[in-house]
Structure 1
């Protein structure tokens, strides 16, 4: 006879069986049994409970764990607004392929159909934000529900899974055994006939290029791509979420990143190419209507999920299989003497020179302010390949995506699907928990920072060494400069000043301000040498933002 457990205990044991290390969230009456059992469990393997200052940020942190590790982070909240506050974070995770499991408290089962305190249709609400949304009506189903949520969260395309937990289900007895650890799914690869077709297309192509997207950023796929590049040098363009796929060893094959505006060297290369191999590419990162305007090249779509077809994206070859296994098989299949033509090498050399010149094209800044490229270059000097840099949304995110180099996947993080404000600091907290011995930098604008700035208290409480840069200009600037490009003026983008040094100190963190642009490097050195979270307030000169929209390709004005 199995030993009886409470529903919450069975749920926790299921987390232990799947190696969950943390649960992030905010308590409440409908989920307090779970928090009690997490807090006071005698099992040394029980996930650590980390209380945050907002449910949305708790889910951002959990999604950050998912993006960094490939395994779901877990967030737990109470009913009503506790659940509804998860919506933005779960939608972001689902759009951007980050596995996360959300546990939402709910009123007792006999109150579900009543208009009572904190009663909302949680399961139905979250069905629009998550891949999977269920409500558990029997405590004996809790372990099954968690394991199915885990499978849904990690299965391609990864995303959020939500479980609604009526309060009385968590406290009910469970008589069934908890489900054991799940076995990993077996990798599949393309057929020999398909591999032969790819080789034939590569041989015929005058200028093939690889577009590496979000699902190419796992360690396995990155390693497989590096093996391919070791055999044959092929140009690679990254999406923003593919940042870091190309290591230093293969930097000669790196031709920048693409996203937002079609005016990068990578866009030029994609336009000139007659064969594009998309690896783990998702249209939410950069729609094909932006990079495949001419429809005059052949596309091979290699991904773990079936592509979303459109008038602008109709691959000639579609392979839905394990990306790493298929790349490895393709590498073995390629002839040892395969290489690009001299004409292709010459064209790539010219593009490479243009690309490298971009990172030094800096203008003089307004007195007392710092140019974006100066900030990027000074930060670049002070990080290594193991540093994790999380980037919020704003003008700074475009500058960082185009010019900041990263040489390891999932070490430079962007929200490029939903472009969600406030992700940077929560993701940095996740990064420091996952990579405690490595540097972690969070980069935000002064607008986006205050979307989640209250989590500075969480970082202080956990004593996390996070350097938080705030590019400060007093505007929602990413909107501002695009409005000015469209209408010749801006509207609704100005807000009041905040003393971020005092803000940091009020939380028990360290606050630093760059009053003299010439001292930026010294202040960054001080920030990295300081224990605990540090805010660095940097007055930024965004006068060159219009260059971010300037058309490199003559057929694109927007």
Structure 2
């Protein structure tokens, strides 16, 4: 039976197991949206309309990060496509697979100054791993299949397909591409494993640096197996959050990112053998944690590392990470650190845990960040997904909030993109139904994507949105004050977020004290649909972010 290009594209998505398409409609893609909305095939991806293309891209990238399979976003031409740029750049930087579908004017108008005609393919080249424009409807199925394969291949990221309107309407005569077989990598060779074992046997303080590509379920399980053979410290990057399970908490030595003054920085500096597992320099550049340390580095990853003056590994292994770690665990004899080193690490960890203590404060109208984190930590379960926007709150959360499951505490630490938390929370609520999801934002970051609260209400998603409210772009403010003794351009005014929430049909709560925060969280977790909790926050201790445990770098 003959079909047109739009029908071929929908079938291509079905064949590759796509569950959702997020986006905004328009004349150039109305055939595609019509099919998605009215298809009688139960396998057809669910169409979810958002209020901004950037947020649709964020939700798609959240799907990609949570599942390892591409999320799909579809928009119309012109500004519909250009509004995707930030979301796709973020996904590509941070390793989240996404396929973006952008409408385009008919082929004979592409080079003309016609309505909504822009060079979409060229525009998206810098934001994605691959950007193509389909010129023949017969190529749609294979183009989508290749976009899928490119998006998930290490390093995962975004791909873009430009769809001229007339291509979607043309007749297709070629067969569909079948479901793709996964691309498998193998384990490292036996002689490479022997080299790793030899280095582990002679090292005084080997440390695992768990990066973004260590956070898949299979790699995390392989790290756990290795730690049962040799109990050594693990330092997580922000995107490696949750690699260490609750049962292995003794191996957890914090997260690194931004300012070089954490326990993770100190232990990396002391280590004579850093095993970088799935580490990507976009998370925390080598010039921040490696330049003045001595000792060797093993780089184990599915891609080749970026070499710089500050990051030149002594052993580079490009292979399947999980298979290599599991093979290493199988061959590794039971090893232990020296008693002296064990005692030293215990002292370091005790001091580290003491930093979670909530300081006494006289304010009865603002809540200290550690009090908010304590209340949240007490409320969540290990399987609760917590998404975190960018701002001062994100530094507090990265340093003090514990997560024991991979990809359950999500940060943007490649692009540090404002507005990701609520869209990512929507993705998590869709992919992990029946579980509450928490989104944590500042007032500034929330307003980048807060209109998607209506999307969450429409979908009846159990999202608890915390807003740490201080009326400023505070992450910029405290750094400006540290550099120049004054600030500029950081005042953003006041918003009544309880009324804002209610205007969208969500529940709005306000909490001025730690007890009120705990009560509001308990109420929110028991409430159907989205709840917004507005919390005036006391950021007076932010100056400590620039303290010097090691030589600090202001970002």
TM over 0.5: yes
2 CA distance for matches of 1:17 and 1:89? 25
- Provide, for residues 31-84 of structure 1, a one-character-per-residue CA deviation record: whole Å limited to 9, x for no partner: 111001111111110000000000000000000000000000000000000000
**Corresponding position of 1:161:** 159
Do the aligned partners of 2:435 and 2:462 also contact (CA within 8 Å) in 1?
A: no
**Structure 2 residue 489 is matched with structure 1 residue 492:** yes
Partner of 1:146: 144
Q: Distance in 2 between matches of 1:391 and 1:220?
A: 24
* 2:537 aligned residue: 540
| Residue 365 to residue 202, structure 1, CA distance change in 2 (3 Å) | farther
SS of equivalent residue, structure 1 residue 437: coil
**1:359 & 1:445 partners in 2: Cα distance?**
21
Distance 1:491 1:76 in 2: 38
Aligned-residue CA RMSD in angstroms?
A: 0.9
Cα 1:199–1:119 change in 2 (3 A) is same
Please tell me whether the aligned partners of residues 442 and 469 of structure 2 are also in contact (alpha carbons under 8 angstroms). Answer: yes
- Alignment CA distance shift 1:363-1:313 (3 Å): farther
Measure, in 1, the Cα distance between the counterparts of 2:513 and 2:312.
53
Structure 2 partner of 1:514: 511
Q: Aligned match of 1:531 in 514, 528, 532?
A: 528
Q: Could you tell me whether the CA contact under 8 Å between 1:104 and 1:165 is conserved in 2?
A: yes
Counterpart for residue 453 of structure 1:
450
Whole-angstrom CA distance in 2 between matches of 1:102 and 1:70? 16
Q: Distance in 2 between matches of 1:90 and 1:363?
A: 43
- State the Cα distance separating 1:332 from its structure 2 match: 1.2
Query: Quick check: 360-369 or 296-305, which moved more?
Result: 360-369
Partner of 2:322: 324
In 2, the alpha carbon distance for the partners of 1:296 and 1:516 equals 46
What is the match of residue 505 of structure 1? 502
Does residue 479 (structure 1) correspond to residue 447 (structure 2)? The answer is: no
Task: Establish whether residue 374 from structure 1 lines up as the match of residue 374 from structure 2.
Answer: no
Following superposition, the deviation at residue 529 of structure 1 comes to 1.1
Q: Is contact 2:107-2:135 (8 Å) kept?
A: yes
Matched, 1:54 2:72: no
Tell whether 2:460 aligns with 1:463.
yes
- Per-residue CA distance 1:409-444 (angstroms, 9 max, x = gap): 000000000000000000000000000111100000
Matched, 1:360 2:357: yes
- Hey, what does 1:384 align to over in structure 2? 381
For 1:282-293, list aligned pairs within 5 A: 282-293=280-291
Counterpart CA distance in 2 for 1:534 and 1:206 is 50
1:341 is matched with 338
Q: 1:73 and 2:81 equivalent?
A: no
Q: CA deviation at 1:139?
A: 0.2
Aligned to 1:556: 552
Deviations 1:167-196 (A, max 9, x none): 000111100010000001223111111110
- Is the aligned partner of 1:304 residue 2:302? yes
Runs of 4+ with deviation above 3 angstroms? 515-518, 555-558
What is the alpha-carbon distance in structure 2 between the residues aligned to residue 361 and residue 306 of structure 1? Answer: 42
Contact 1:278 1:300 in 2 (8 A): yes
Structure 2 distance, partners of 1:187, 1:381, is: 40
Number of aligned residues: 554
Q: Structure 2 CA distance, aligned partners of 1:556 and 1:74?
A: 40
Return the offset for 1:296: 1.2
Instruction: Give me the whole-angstrom Cα distance separating, in 1, the residues matched to 2:167 and 2:403.
Output: 46
User: Per-residue deviation at 1:295?
Assistant: 4.1
- For the residues of structure 1 that align with 2:176 and 2:367, how far apart are their CA atoms? 57
Is residue 141–residue 177 contact of structure 2 (8 Å, CA) maintained in 1? Answer: yes
The offset of 1:361, in angstroms, is: 4.9
Matches of 2:42 and 2:35, distance apart in 1: 13
Contact 2:546 2:552 in 1 (8 A): no
- Using the size of structure 1 for normalisation, the TM-score is 0.98
Deviation per CA, 1:481-540: give whole Å up to 9, x if none: 000111111100001101111111111111001144432211111111111111000000
Secondary structure of 1:23 counterpart: strand
**Superposition deviation, residue 557 in structure 1:** 6.0
Task: Provide the C-alpha distance between the structure 2 equivalents of 1:312 and 1:295, rounded to a whole number of angstroms.
Answer: 10
Per-residue CA distance 1:315-370 (angstroms, 9 max, x = gap): 0000000000000111112113x221222212211111111111115241533100
Is residue 368–residue 517 contact of structure 1 (8 Å, CA) maintained in 2? no
Q: Which runs of 5+ in 2 are unaligned?
A: none
